Amino acid sequence: MKNKLNALFGTFKAKMTVIISACVAVAILAVLIIGAWKDTSYVEAMETFRDVVYRGKADQLKDLAPKEFWNYIEDTQGYTLDELEEEYARNWESRQDMRERQHGGHYRMSYEIVEERELSETRLNKIKTALKKQYDIDKDDVKAGKKLTVMVTTGGLDDSETEETTFTVVKIRSDWYVVNYDFSDGEGSVTFGMIQ
């Protein structure tokens, strides 16, 4: 009788271990799925912006804007993306040399996103309209927009300064981009990153 009880208890214990393990696995999976729903890939857009503008990574220039923008630049200004990357890389050294001279050879840039807000529907619709008009980006491809409050620190080791600034990021299809926009003329215009 005692052996039967031990065998029954052992089977029960093994089943409970499997059930508890399964519950833990489901809980971990739920946390991962919920985390994936919160779209924070706009941070990648900020990192790309930083890497191109402040670290001179010309090979990432293409990631500052969607393909329609680069097609527009080639059609209206005659520059291919490869040519722009080469030009950017050539000019980067002189800009960086100037920064290094100004800041004692240790120029750096860092940032921290301190607040994010969804763009209003009105503002996002204006951006959608401008993107469609300028670059023929379908309005349905513009999925979301955020205004980020960012603390940006630039300078050298001894003379850095931090200031608050705002960035606007827009999700086009599955990628986020830093954009600048101006609606003062009534129609509006949108540019990507630091590209004017």
> Cβ–Cβ contacts within 10 Å for residue 42, how many?
22
Q: Is the pLDDT of residue 156 over 70?
A: yes
Q: Given pLDDT bands bounded at 50, 70 and 90, which one contains residue 26? A: very low
29, pLDDT greater than 80: no
Give pLDDT, residue 184.
Answer: 82
| Distances 189 to 11, 33, 131, 184, 186 between C-alpha atoms, Å | 70, 37, 8, 9, 9
Question: To the nearest whole percent, how much of the chain has pLDDT over 70?
Answer: 78
Q: What is the DSSP string of 125-170?
A: HHHHHHHHHHH---GGGEEEEEEEEEEEEEE-SSS-EEEEEEEEEE
d(CA 96, CA 161): 17
Q: Are 146 and 169 in contact (CB under 8 A)?
A: yes
Query: What local confidence, expressed as pLDDT, does residue 187 receive?
Result: 74
What is the arithmetic mean of pLDDT over 45-65? 91
> Which stretch of 31-40, 67-76, 87-96, 169-178 has the lowest confidence by average pLDDT?
31-40
Domains of the chain, by residue range, sit at 1-38, 42-192
Rg (CA), the chain: 25
Cβ neighbours around 75 below 10 Å, total: 8
* Mean pLDDT, residues 106-126 taken together: 92
Token pair 């080791």 in the structure block, residue: 157
72 pLDDT higher than 80 = yes
Total residue count of the chain as it appears in this document:
196
Looking at residue 22, what is its pLDDT? 47
User: With bands split at pLDDT 50, 70 and 90, how would you rate the model's confidence at 40?
Assistant: low
Q: Which residues contact 122 (CB under 8 A, 6 or more apart)?
A: none
